[in-house]
Amino acid sequence: MKPVIFVHGYNFDPASVEDDPITGVYAEWEPHLADRPISMFTYYSAGGKWALLKAWAAGYRNTYRWAYSKLAVDAARPLCDVAWEIGPCDVICHSLGSRVVLKAAALGAPFERVVILGGAEMVPEARIAARLSPKVQYLNVMSTTDDVLDLMAEHFTPGDSHAAIGHDGVLGLSNWRNAVLDDSEVQEWALATHDWLLSGDLEGFMDHHVYYRWEQNWPLYIQFLDGDDLIDMPDKAREPPNTFFD
């Protein structure tokens, strides 16, 4: 099986024991892919102590804008280098990690299949990157009730677009599929076809983590990584198709 690279999102400082994604979020991902070689990519994404002061010193008014505009972009080249050291590989990324991965793919990283969980990248940016990496197959796992994307990604991100891929998806690209976990038609398909009980909206904890904390979502991701393009899955993304360049 191909190696899988994990890419975390916002608010991590790998230099901090408390903030290290390897002992935090990645520890929740690893058991589901223990039969695959795993590489755990880490980058500074405005976590740890004094993050706000560091953002101000860098010229940004909040830590998320700093992470989106600068830190995630800077992490793309190191991720690309890691991927070339590994060779053809797959990726699982979460939240702001989607921006890192899509930028790396556009730089030519040898990704084959990418699973995006609650992606915080904006739709126009994602569309450009996906077009620049036509050999990469993307599964964009969405939830229309994701509170973090509502409150942060779609309001603190610079620019005119306020549509994150984890909310709205990307349509009209042959190498991009959207899986809307909280859509009833998608859930009915998953249950009838594969006996999967998908969830994108859980009461009691933030929906931005439901993608990987609801264990019955993982078989969908593994099926995709195993080579299934999920062409029979209803694609219920909300973005109007953009076929101008198709």
Please identify, in words, the CATH class of the domain defined by 4-225.
Answer: alpha beta
Could you tell me the pLDDT band of residue 113, with boundaries at 50, 70 and 90? very high
* 234 phi/psi in degrees, rounded to 5: -60, 130
Kindly state the helix (H) or strand (E) to which residue 97 belongs, with its residue range: helix 97-106
Residue range 35-94, pLDDT digits in tens: 999 999 999 999 988 998 998 999 998 999 999 999 999 999 999 999 999 999 999 999
User: Could you state, in order of their start, the residue ranges of all structural domains in the chain?
Assistant: 4-225
Per-residue pLDDT tens digits for 176-206: 999 999 999 999 999 999 999 999 987 655 6
Question: pLDDT by residue (tens digit) across 94-109?
Answer: 999 999 999 999 999 9
Alpha-carbon distance of 196 to 216, in angstroms, equals 6
pLDDT (average), residues 166-171? 91
User: At 47, is the secondary structure helix, strand, or coil?
Assistant: coil
The residue among 208 and 41 whose pLDDT is bigger is 41
pLDDT of residue 45: 95
Comparison of pLDDT for 234 and 244, the residue scoring more: 234
